[in-house]
Structure 1
């Protein structure tokens, strides 16, 4: 169950409404790096979490917080849109708010939501849930969550640098801090699951003696001249999971050229394909 007391997690205030910045904030709501993405990702990961129930509890608590962040950002969008005109005319283009309507505001916020936030990105594209990763493998999910919080924090920092409004900077500073916590929390969960040497390779339940181990830690180069790619930590020395050694080698084709059978009659193919 979810509960609310009607209050925001952190104060949201806008000193100078900026409809163009409202459009930018929409990315933090409905963009691929946004709060809808992480809220639903953590929620569905929790719904499928098996094993120790504390991981489900952690995921549900964090998903609930992310719903609160959507509420904060939606409030910020609405406050930044306050004062925007309801009619779009050329003679308002000189006005700071009206000019923003003509020069870049997300028109959906004007036409479809009455100057309110929507579950869309900064271009007005609805969030379609295609970036929700909930694999049923707790270590894989924690790894995906680190990436989600990392890209979310990058976005929040960019938004912070886009505005001079003290209230917006204060709100974004809070969201950046929470992204810091969440990145660390998911890394801590991975550490508790065994860290690099225990959790990886994911899934650690698959016996590695059943994989073709000569390729397990090979850094393959596909350079046209046959050279080995530039060396790095990933090409030499002990593997990060501690179960092998990185080795650079030039990739060579090991398979044959594909030979397919003739096309089936009534398949819409040419007759030469059916009777080659």
Structure 2
């Protein structure tokens, strides 16, 4: 059960309208790392969680908070669009500089949403459910959550420097703080999963004896220069850096296409120029004849 409280988690009042900034703020709503993404990511992680108790409660508490963040941002967008484009735009476009700026507003916020926010990013691309990660493995999911909060905080920080409006800045200061604590909580939860014996360093903690043991502790040096091998991962993590790795497979040649597909095809030749598969082709031809 979800219950809506008719108060925002934090105030969302700009000092003045700014239709262009409202367009930019859409990224924090419907972008790949926006609040819609973390909302749905955490909701599905919580609904799919097979452990009742602290982990599920943490996920669902955070998911429900993120719904409130979407509401805050949608409210801020609507207030930034107040008077635009009908009134504010008509007056502003008299100034050529302002006309160019207004040209950066999202017309769909007016035409489609009636002066409100959209479930889309700052380019108007609709939000996509493929943005979310909810695998059922808490270690893999919590690591994805850290990355999502880090990217979201990064984008919030960039947008923070794109406005001088004190009301917008105050809300973004709150959002920055929540992104900080969410990174902290997921990092701490990862360590607790290990301490509780539920997960280990590698996700998933399975098939470690089945995997190819020759290739689970090496980094292939595939870029110019020796700098990669100087990292702490070669000493602290004990990972070997292969400075001159050799390919382990043969040519990645696709097979002969179905004739009905009319794909351009030539049989593979070896180093001596001999056509491989010639005998087989001849046999096939003789069978047909």
TM > 0.5: yes
Structure 2: gaps of 5 or more residues: 268-280, 283-289
Matched residue SS, 1:5: coil
Structure 1 spans left out of the alignment, 5+ residues: 240-244
Residue 256 of structure 1 aligns with which residue?
250
Alpha carbons of structure 1 residues 102 and 252: separation in structure 2 relative to 1, 3 Å:
same
Deviation at 1:259, TM superposition (A): 5.5
SS at 1:248 equivalent: strand
Alignment check: 8 A CA contact 1:228 1:248 kept: no
SS of structure 2 residue aligned to 1:219: strand
Distance 1:7 1:98, change over 3 A: farther
Cα distance in structure 2, aligned partners of 1:83 and 1:97 = 19
Q: Secondary structure at the match of 2:230?
A: coil
CA distance change for structure 1 residues 160 and 262 in 2, over 3 Å: closer, same or farther? Answer: closer
Whole-angstrom CA distance in 2 between matches of 1:271 and 1:145: 46
- Once superposed, what is the RMSD of the aligned Cα atoms? 2.8
Instruction: Note the C-alpha offset of 1:257.
Output: 2.1
Paired position in structure 1 for 2:162: 162
Taking structure 2 as the reference length, the TM-score comes to: 0.83
Deviation at 1:89, TM superposition (A): 7.8
Counterpart CA distance in 2 for 1:89 and 1:76 is 19
The answer to whether the 8 Å contact 1:19/1:97 transfers is no
* CA distance in structure 1 between the aligned counterparts of 2:148 and 2:67, rounded to whole angstroms: 15
**Structure with greater Cα Rg:** 2
SS in 2 for 1:199: coil
Per the alignment, residue 146 of structure 1 pairs with: 146
Aligned length: 267
**Where do residues 26-105 of structure 1 align in structure 2 (5 Å cutoff)?**
26-86=26-86, 92-94=92-94, 99=99, 102-105=102-105
Does structure 2 retain, via aligned residues, the 8 Å contact 1:28–1:155?
yes
User: Do the aligned residues in 2 keep the contact of 1:19 with 1:101 (CA within 8 Å)?
Assistant: no
Shift of 1:110: 1.4
